[in-house]
Amino acid sequence: MVILVEDSPYEAALAYLALSTTTPVVRAPNLRSAARIAPGARLAILGPRTMSRISNRQVRALGIPAVGIGVRLSEADRRRAFAAGVRAVYERPRGWKAYLALFEEIHHAVQA
């Protein structure tokens, strides 16, 4: 199972559709909620707003790997996410096939 923490309804819908082709997905409204359901999950995918406010304590509370995906992410948000313990940050591809391929890549990396 993958936990999706994304504020944008549009981005959440895209990610949900792409992820649900390979794995069960649960959407969490925030990191606190994500931490409560994390014991049954393998990965948390964070949106840009979540990454811009994340702390190391929140990533540790998840207890599972976290990656970020967004469009036009600032360098400051990327640095903050990495400093907090997010494993990887990806720019969302524009094309659907490339987006599906990104999730396949993430999925295989987490299983390894």
Domain boundaries, the chain: 2-106
Which of 80, 78, 65 minimizes the C-alpha distance to 34?
Answer: 65
pLDDT tens digit sequence for 25-82: 999 999 999 999 999 899 999 999 999 999 999 999 999 999 999 998 999 999 999 9
Name the fold adopted by 2-106. Rossmann fold (3.40.50)
Residue type, 73: L
Question: What count of other Cβ atoms lies within 10 Å of the Cβ of residue 108?
Answer: 10
Q: What are phi and psi of 45, to 5 degrees?
A: -110, 125
pLDDT tens digit sequence for 19-29: 888 789 999 99
Partner residues linked to 67 by β-bridges: 45, 88
CB 56 within 8 A of CB 39: no
